[in-house]
């Protein structure tokens, strides 16, 4: 009999209350050390962080926690409300409150927060509104403002929403990324049209930090932005411009990779992530 191969990654639910709404949140975790909290991209789920979660080099130093935002993956919509009677439109206010409540529930001390795309944008919001709660943030594929992607095409009833969503993000990835990982990312996006559009309400409409970046206390919360050269939504110019307006912030351009670096090509992403983590530790030394 072949010996089974078990992953060290463990999944668990935690129930939290945000503004009177009850959420049973699913998260995956592995490792020990400073918490590294990871937010998936819009319309997706925590499996995007599979490479990082099983990376022994990183998890020997960090407790990697990747959760599913409510309505994504294994985290349902709120348990105690008739959520189906309202159109889902993610707001900056809820998103920030949810993440801080989750980190409090897990009793995380000095966490580093990392997210990609709308997860990167919320990282900037966290740095602005909660500089004392996070040791650092790593906004990946983020910008002060990212209009233009809140589109009805994501769930047009006359088109195949799962294929429109998945193919709409296909060329957010770099052609150099491995086929198997690009198709895995495509597959994730074939699963959640309604959540995708609702998430993009935050990404392209409610998130607007233009004129507010100078208020981020970069001396309290280190900000290190990472952007791939093949990202057509938040380009390297957007990332560089945004970082340049935040005190002490750094910007790292990621070559030959796109908007989903952690799932489309983890080996390439890892090089840049290590650079960011080393920079965060250097500040503390």
Partner 1 sequence: MTVVVENQWIQRFTELNDSNEELNAHGKFFTCSYLLDMESVQVLIDMHEGKVKNINLDPGPLDAYDFAIRASEDTWKKFSMPTPPPMYHGIWAASFQRDMKLEGNILVLMQNIRCLTTQLEILRVSGIPV
- Tell me which residues touch partner 1 (CB under 8 A): 148, 153, 156, 158-160, 163-164, 166-168, 170-172, 174-176, 229-230, 232-233, 235
Q: How far is the CB of 233 from partner 1 (least distance, A)?
A: 7
Phi, psi of 36 (to 5 degrees): -120, 100
Q: Quick one: 79 or 255, whose CB is closer to partner 1?
A: 255
Phi, psi of 38 (to 5 degrees): -120, 130
Q: How far is the CB of 72 from partner 1 (least distance, A)?
A: 22
Q: Quick one: 127 or 257, whose CB is closer to partner 1?
A: 257
Q: How far is the CB of 190 from partner 1 (least distance, A)?
A: 9
Q: How far is the CB of 169 from partner 1 (least distance, A)?
A: 8
Q: How far is the CB of 249 from partner 1 (least distance, A)?
A: 23
Q: Quick one: 235 or 275, whose CB is closer to partner 1?
A: 235
Q: How far is the CB of 154 from partner 1 (least distance, A)?
A: 10
Q: In whole angstroms, what is the distance from residue 228 CA to residue 239 CA? A: 9
Picking from 91, 281, 128, the residue whose alpha carbon sits closest to that of residue 218 is: 128
Give the torsion sign (CA, 159, 197, 204, 41).
Answer: negative
Q: How far is the CB of 203 from partner 1 (least distance, A)?
A: 14
Which helix H or strand E contains 17, and what residues bound it? strand 10-18
Helix runs in 156-192, H state only: 161-168, 179-189
Q: Quick one: 5 or 158, whose CB is closer to partner 1?
A: 158
Q: Quick one: 13 or 170, whose CB is closer to partner 1?
A: 170
Contact yes or no for 16/102 (Cβ under 8 A): yes
Q: Which residues lie across from 62 on neighbouring strands?
A: 34
Picking from 264, 263, 257, the residue whose alpha carbon sits closest to that of residue 239 is: 257
Contact yes or no for 12/20 (Cβ under 8 A): no
Q: Quick one: 6 or 232, whose CB is closer to partner 1?
A: 232
Residue 281 neighbours by CB distance under 10 Å: 15
Q: Quick one: 162 or 245, whose CB is closer to partner 1?
A: 162
Phi, psi of 16 (to 5 degrees): -130, 160
């Amino acid at each position: 009999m072949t010996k089974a191969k078990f992953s060290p990654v463990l999944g668990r639910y935690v129930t939290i209350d945000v503004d009177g709404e009850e959420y049973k949140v699913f998260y995956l975790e592995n490792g020990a050390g400073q918490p590294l909290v990871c937010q998936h991209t819009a319309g997706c789920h925590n499996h995007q962080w599979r490479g990082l979660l099983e990376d022994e080099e990183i998890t020997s130093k960090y407790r990697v926690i990747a959760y599913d935002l409510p309505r994504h993956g294994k985290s349902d919509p709120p348990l105690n409300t008739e959520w189906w009677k309202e159109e889902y439109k993610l707001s900056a206010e809820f998103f920030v409150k949810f993440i801080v409540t989750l980190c409090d529930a897990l009793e995380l001390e000095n966490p580093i927060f990392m997210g990609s795309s709308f997860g990167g944008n919320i990282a900037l919001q966290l740095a602005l509104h909660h500089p004392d709660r996070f040791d650092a943030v790593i906004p990946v594929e983020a910008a002060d403002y990212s209009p233009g992607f809140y589109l009805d095409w994501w769930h047009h009833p006359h088109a195949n929403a799962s294929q429109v969503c998945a193919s709409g993000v296909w060329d957010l990835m770099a052609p150099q990324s491995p086929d198997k990982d690009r198709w895995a990312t495509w597959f994730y996006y074939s699963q959640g049209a309604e959540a995708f559009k609702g998430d993009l309400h935050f990404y392209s409409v409610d998130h607007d930090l233009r004129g507010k970046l100078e208020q981020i206390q970069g001396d309290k919360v280190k900000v290190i932005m990472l952007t791939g050269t093949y990202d057509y939504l938040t380009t390297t110019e957007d990332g560089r411009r945004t970082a340049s307006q935040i005190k002490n912030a750094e910007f790292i351009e990621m070559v030959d990779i796109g908007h989903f670096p952690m799932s489309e090509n983890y080996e390439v992403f890892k090089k840049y992530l290590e650079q960011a983590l080393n920079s965060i530790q250097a500040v503390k030394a």
